[in-house]
Amino acid sequence: MQVIGAGFGRTGTLSLKRALEDLGFGPAYHMQEAMQRPAHVRQWLDYAETGTADWDELFAKFSSGVDYPVCCVWEELVSHYPDSKVVLTVRDPQRWWQSTMSTVYGFRTAFAPWFLRAVPTAGRFVDMVERLVWTGLFDGRFDDRDHAIGVFNRHNEHVRATCPPERLLVFEVADGWEPLCEFLDVPVPDKPFPHLNDTAETRRIVTGVKWVTRAIPAVGAAAAGAVLLNALG
């Protein structure tokens, strides 16, 4: 792993993933990679239960990683990969909470119970996110705005205070290519910085999953499974 993203989801992590890949630091790991790899979901669940993981095996095909669940273990990864650099994506805390609350937090309850029983891989994925993110990071209180923003701010402050400054870039995706390329010592591409995964699209996906798995259970499993695999893409 050459680049480790320490920023929470909904801070521009999917845009950063694409940017890192465009700069030659790909493939970049992201929650969507775990969604598409049942074996990885099992490994993350094992980590949630035991606190240990074979990082070299998990990230064997990846040169960088961003978003959840990578940011949940950023300190372990920084220690395990001593030559890696760290990018902390940041955003206005109030806007970050509102964006997360109105989008990806909806996946917590998007799938009908029958679907989670019928499609074990989806059930394990939801369980993994619950353990590592909603219960793990946010103590089961993400819907408490002040608590969640407090967790967000303390996380960012901890990264700033503990990561060696020569290894750390605090980055807003609105800043574009220049600070990221300077930090990684690579040329600036001759194309716009990627901006992906807007709020409206993610809301549409969550609503679609809820509708499919509740309105038409006879055919919902296959359709919702397809939606899940593309949810954050």
pLDDT in tens, 35-79: 899 999 999 999 999 999 999 999 999 999 999 999 999 999 999
Residues of the chain above pLDDT 90, percent = 73
Nearest to 107, CA basis, from 178, 177, 204, 14: 204
d(CA 124, CA 74): 22
pLDDT at 2 over 90: yes
Q: Please give the pLDDT value at position 116.
A: 83
Give the chain's domains with CATH numbers: 3-229 (3.40.50.300)
pLDDT at 149 over 70: yes
Rounded to an integer, the average pLDDT of 165-184 is 97
State if pTM tops 0.85: yes
Instruction: Label residues 152-186 b or e (16+ Cβ within 10 Å = b).
Output: beebbeebeeebeeeebbbbebeeebeebeebbee
* Residue whose entry in the numeric block shows the structure tokens 């609503």: 207
